[in-house]
Amino acid sequence: MYGPRRVDEDDRRRLNESPVKASRVMALFRPYWKRLTLVVFVIVVASLIGLAQPFLLREVIDVALPTGNTSLLAWLCLGMVAVAAVTGLLSLVQAWQATLVGQAVMHDLRARVFRHLLRQSLAFFKATRAGEIQSRLSSDVAGLQSVVTNTATSIAANVTTVIGTLAAMVALNWRLTLVSLAILPPAVLLTRRVALVRRDITAQQQRVFANLYGQVEESLSVNGALLTKTLGTAPARSEEFEATSRELIDLELRAQLAGRWRMATMQIVFAAIPAALYLAAGFPTVSGGISIGTLIAFATLQVAIFRPVMQLLNVGADWIASMALLSRIFGYLDLPVDVPEPAHPVPMPRGAVRGEVHFRDVSYRYPDADVDALTHIELTIPPGRTLAVVGETGSGKSTLALLLGRLADPTSGSITIDGVDLREISSGDLAGFLGVVSQETYLSHDTVAANLRQAVPGATEDELWTALAAAHVDGLIASLPDRLDTVVGARGHRFSGGERQRLAIARTLLSNPRILILDEATSALDNETEREVQLAIDALAVGRTTLTIAHRLTTIQDADEIAVLESGTVIEQGTHEELARAVGRYAQLLSRGLQGPDTTPA
């Protein structure tokens, strides 16, 4: 009834490993200290005013009714209504202000975590499950509202209520207060114990439901359904789902029985408390003599103290749970930024960028790797020229593109654009003059127009169609009923792989970047479509600095220069004709077309 809770051992373990400093918690609420002060003040005032109710009731029963004093009776009844109205109004103010503070703190945390995660390198996202990130941003942050609206405020409200109620009980009859103090603890503990049993069952139900939802996601999503059908695992999936569903039947039965036992226990407790009080009042030596009004008022207070005592027992578990949530959130906020924004960025306006790219003795090692992915790379791409990079899978081609896009920073050496180190250019300026089309396309669950306008938010409809035409996908979009307003579906599944790739190319074409990175951009296309898109890419690349990661050598024969990578090192460099005449690695790759083995980015 009052939400009994155990301390979660996972929460306790989390706090032992990553304790949360009180000063850091206070810092979250410091901007809202005035509102918090108002909340605590309102709680105390409402609790104290609420204690007047039993005393008014005693006067009604002991004085106004027996004496027939209708005037006094009217005023007492009016006072009882006024107390209820004032406490109700104050409760409304408390809930309003506490919720405002809670929501403001959650907003601040959500925004800080989101901004901080956007600054993380790709290595972080590759090592972290997307569901975990979503959980931190939604469930964990939302759970913190209980710190303000439940935990913190309940301490003030319940402590005030318990102290005030005990004082009122002593004022009414100190002997019966001693009787109550003997009865309340076992009643509270018994109720709490029964309730905790049901809480444990409920927790098991939640875990089983989570497992059930996971099975639904894995089996009935687009990718899951495809995998299930191609592997023929539908019968096994069905059996697994049915076993989990049967487990829920047993848990629900236990939960219902525990609930009945709990309700029966609560009924006994609430009947036993006033019964013991009335029994004690029948013995003058115990009660010291007591009026009917005082007895009823005392019984009212005795029942009223039960709830705040139960809630205070939960404070420890609530506080530890809240601190564990904060520990997880602070864990994200404390993550070091592998690719930090420059403290004093060098201005690089789009129109002033010539596009000269220089890799100066660049080496890079992935986190937790034993060897370098790139070793002492020296490459220069003059403004408006094209450098194509070829090599077997794992040679380091895509790592080169990763570094130029500043999705990671070199372990040693530097990459410069027009002589300015990439680490000194703001991400906003870099995105303004550098465009990327990779093998892995990503489209948001939105319209075609909205996906294209991610590159240029203010693009006109004519500009969108021009970009689509350049990517040879305008005919497809024009044939759809909703044309530019067509929703692409989750991750673009409305379209085929080749169509998604062309839409991604159109998005990059729209931004008209000064520097292009084409990381196997046409690898998902069939031969005919690839030839069409390659024409558009070739036209776009004229006058622009372009780094092309090649899948098929036929697509890069016209490149100004070609570099051959092997095990992270440049082993050959020259034009297509020069490398084809030489008896080297490029000639070997050319002889077999570099088709088949090299289908994934290095």
Task: Mark whether 478 and 580 lie in a shared domain.
Answer: yes
Both tokens assigned to 124: 């972080």
Task: Mark whether 372 and 495 lie in a shared domain.
Answer: yes
pLDDT for 410 beyond 60: yes
In a domain, 152, yes or no: yes
| Band of pLDDT at residue 145, cut at 50, 70 and 90 | low
C-alpha 327/C-alpha 140 separation (Å) is 10
Give Cβ neighbours of residue 387 (< 8 Å, ≥ 6 apart). 357, 379, 381, 546, 547, 548, 559, 560, 561, 562, 563
Both tokens assigned to 73: 């009776």
Task: Mark whether 123 and 214 lie in a shared domain.
Answer: no
**pLDDT (tens digit per residue) in 328-364:** 788 788 877 778 888 888 988 877 888 899 999 999 9
pLDDT for 529 beyond 70: no
**Can you give the pLDDT at residue 193?**
65
Phi, psi angles (nearest 5°) of residue 524: -90, 5
C-alpha 531/C-alpha 124 separation (Å) is 36
Looking at per-residue pLDDT, the higher value among 438 and 187 belongs to 438
Q: Could you please report the per-residue DSSP string of 495-538?
A: S-HHHHHHHHHHHHHHH--SEEEEESTTTTS-HHHHHHHHHHHH
Amino acid identity, position 417? I
Task: Mark whether 282 and 326 lie in a shared domain.
Answer: no
Continuous H helices in 393-460:
397-404, 427-433, 448-452
Task: Mark whether 280 and 327 lie in a shared domain.
Answer: no
**Can you give the pLDDT at residue 382?**
92
412 near 363, Cβ under 8 Å?
Answer: yes
In a domain, 601, yes or no: no
Both tokens assigned to 519: 């990381």
We report the CATH number of the domain holding residue 165 as 1.20.1560.10
**pLDDT (tens digit per residue) in 85-100:** 998 898 888 888 888 8
In a domain, 598, yes or no: no
Task: Mark whether 365 and 494 lie in a shared domain.
Answer: yes
Task: Mark whether 334 and 441 lie in a shared domain.
Answer: no
C-alpha 545/C-alpha 395 separation (Å) is 23
In a domain, 347, yes or no: no
Task: Mark whether 458 and 323 lie in a shared domain.
Answer: no
Burial of 260 (0-12, 13-18, 19+ CB in 10 A): exposed
For 22, 79, 232, 352, 438, the CA distances from 401, given in Å and listed in that order, are 44, 77, 39, 23, 9
Structural domain for 185, as ranges? 174-289
**Can you give the pLDDT at residue 132?**
67
Task: Mark whether 392 and 259 lie in a shared domain.
Answer: no
Share of the chain above pLDDT 70, in %: 75
In a domain, 348, yes or no: no
We report the CATH number of the domain holding residue 477 as 3.40.50.300
Number of folded domains in the chain? 3
Task: Mark whether 568 and 535 lie in a shared domain.
Answer: yes
In a domain, 304, yes or no: no
Give Cβ neighbours of residue 137 (< 8 Å, ≥ 6 apart). 110, 113, 114
Task: Mark whether 508 and 366 lie in a shared domain.
Answer: yes
Task: Mark whether 181 and 127 lie in a shared domain.
Answer: no
Q: Domain ends where: 273, 289, 305?
A: 289
C-alpha 536/C-alpha 260 separation (Å) is 72
Average pLDDT, the chain: 78
In a domain, 305, yes or no: no
In a domain, 324, yes or no: yes
